[in-house]
Amino acid sequence: MDEAMDFFGVVKRQICNCSLGLNLSPDVEGILKMPMRELHMSIPVRMDDGSIRTFQGFRVQYNNARGPTKGGIRFHPDETINTIRGLAAIMTWKCALHDLPLGGAKGGVICNPKEFSEAELERLSRAYMQSICRFIGPDRDIPAPDVYTNPTVMAWMMDEYANVTGNTAFGVITGKPVSLGGSEGRHDATARGGWMAIREAAADLEMDLAGATVAVQGFGNAGYHAAFLGTAHYGAKIVAVSDSRGAISRPDGLDPEAVLAHKNETGSVIRFEGAETISNEELLELDVDILIPAALENAITMQNADRIRARIVAELANGPTTTEADEILYDHQIHIIPDFLCNGGGVIVSYFEMVQNFTMDHWPEAEVYRRLDEKITTAYRAVKDFSRTYAVPMRQAAYTIAVERVVKAMEYRGCV
Ligand code: NAD
């Protein structure tokens, strides 16, 4: 299979890359390269015109050695089981790297939510929850939002879980609206955590973030907030952004809030007044200080890696760089902040949400941000120190730390 198509293959190769240093036995490596459990389901949904459409859905629980599995739910037309497996594996390493007492999971439905009415979206969300609710729970597997799902979808799913099981368990799903057991700071946690990691990287490179030029691929939850926080908190200049329909650039800088208003009105960032329309490929190759891929996997491949000119690539998306592209960026001395280090803010604040749900508490925003900073900074420094000490790329360092923690838990539990 073509590397860009075989996302799970890419993730498995990363495990091999670090397993030599860890001296993993083939038996242990074999366990780490297979999901623990997969659910495949057909989900019939009545549409507004009275017809019934059947959608294909998945939930992959990858590894629960360190705790209940955790990971988002995607609604996307191009979803595949291969991608969900890879993303569930990444969630395992992400939770371990950030030292959360959680394993990894991911779910998805092959569908295009942009074609649905709100009522259809609600029926699909509830039907998906009905399919998985006997296999999940606050101490088993806890879903969250991901691409094309949001707090409203999480609220419907939480309600459906309560309807089916009789348990009004806030901790069964995270990324809920704040008035329904959601955490302060969850809405922009992925981007906020990403910028905390970028801040550390910039300090290492002696790069001044005030005035630094930034291109952001993807203008959804992660990408919009990355653009907004970049300008509002760090004084960076967002010179280009994109979505699935195309990209725009403005060397003097874009106002992310104005671009969002335009996107909400027209459905896309393209044709924003005062900006030049460019292709998504051109955005990735711009001569900027920081490139933030915040869309989907496989954005940087062998085809374009040679032309990436950013000094820092901060991977807010999961799996935006293929293994071969990764080597090229490393050779070009581009500082990569690997995905599960850079975008850990989302699951970290989701974990804080669970802790608040379990203790029936509600933390102020400042407390959430303080704890998030502590988690991200600790993980960044651990990865950077490992990378420097053993002269290995940041990604390999992150994998090695995370996989070792998962294997230790498997050993203590007597699984290996
Ligand atoms: P989202 O659905 O809110 O936004 C996705 C954006 O990407 C949309 O603007 C879409 O138009 C754009 N897009 C899709 N294909 C594109 C393409 N080919 N080129 C340019 N833009 C494209 O999703 P999100 O929640 O922001 O997630 C984005 C990435 O971040 C995913 O990889 C996701 O797994 C990862 N992530 C998200 C969270 C979170 O908390 N939301 C946490 C960790 C990681």
- Region 135-154: mean pLDDT is 96
For residue 38, the CA-to-ligand 1 centroid distance in Å is 24
The answer as to whether 198 is a domain residue is yes
Q: What is the percentage of the chain residues whose pLDDT exceeds 70?
A: 98
From the CB of 146, is ligand 1 less than 6 Å away?
Answer: yes
For residue 4, is pLDDT > 70?
Answer: no
Answer with the one of 276, 306, 337 that is the final residue of a domain.
Answer: 337
Which residue in 127, 116, 103, 148 sits closest to 45, CA to CA? 127
Q: Which domain holds residue 63?
A: 36-168
155 plus 238 within the same structural domain: no
Tell me what pLDDT residue 6 has: 85
The answer as to whether 21 is a domain residue is no
Fill in the DSSP letter of residue 183: P
pLDDT tens profile 34-45:
999 999 999 999
Cα 236 vs. chain centroid, distance in angstroms?
Answer: 22
314 plus 242 within the same structural domain: yes
Reported as a pLDDT band with limits 50, 70 and 90, residue 2 is low
The answer as to whether 149 is a domain residue is yes
Tell me what pLDDT residue 17 has: 79
137 plus 207 within the same structural domain: no
Reported as a pLDDT band with limits 50, 70 and 90, residue 15 is confident
Tokens of 361: 């508490």
From the CB of 69, is ligand 1 less than 6 Å away?
Answer: no
pLDDT tens profile 319-347:
999 989 999 999 999 999 999 999 999 99
For residue 334, the CA-to-ligand 1 centroid distance in Å is 23
Amino acid symbol at 372: L
Q: Which CATH number covers residue 253?
A: 3.40.50.720
Sign of the four-CA dihedral 299, 234, 336, 68:
negative
Domain count for the chain, please give it: 2
324 plus 194 within the same structural domain: yes
The answer as to whether 291 is a domain residue is yes
The answer as to whether 328 is a domain residue is yes
- Asked if 108 and 82 count as a contact pair (C-beta separation under 8 A), the reply is no
Answer with the one of 337, 368, 396 that is the final residue of a domain.
Answer: 337
51 plus 126 within the same structural domain: yes
pLDDT tens profile 167-204:
999 999 999 999 999 999 999 999 999 999 999 999 99
Torsion of the alpha carbons at 162, 170, 149 and 304, rounded to the nearest 10: -140
For residue 180, the CA-to-ligand 1 centroid distance in Å is 24
Query: How many distinct helices (H) and strands (E) make up the chain?
Result: 14, 12
140 plus 276 within the same structural domain: no
What global pTM score does this model have? Answer: 0.96
The answer as to whether 202 is a domain residue is yes
The answer as to whether 16 is a domain residue is no
Tell me what pLDDT residue 21 has: 80
Tell me what pLDDT residue 240 has: 98
229 plus 314 within the same structural domain: yes
153 plus 239 within the same structural domain: no
Question: Which of 221, 291, 337, when mutated, tests ligand 1's pocket best, judged by the most ligand atoms within 8 Å of its CB?
Answer: 221
Question: Which of 296, 340, 348, when mutated, tests ligand 1's pocket best, judged by the most ligand atoms within 8 Å of its CB?
Answer: 296
- Region 292-314: mean pLDDT is 96
For residue 148, the CA-to-ligand 1 centroid distance in Å is 8
Reported as a pLDDT band with limits 50, 70 and 90, residue 20 is low
42 plus 83 within the same structural domain: yes
152 plus 193 within the same structural domain: no
For residue 3, is pLDDT > 70?
Answer: no
Reported as a pLDDT band with limits 50, 70 and 90, residue 14 is confident
Kindly give, in sequence order, each residue whose CB lies less than 8 Å from that of residue 331, ignoring residues fewer than 6 positions away. none
262 plus 130 within the same structural domain: no
From the CB of 157, is ligand 1 less than 6 Å away?
Answer: no
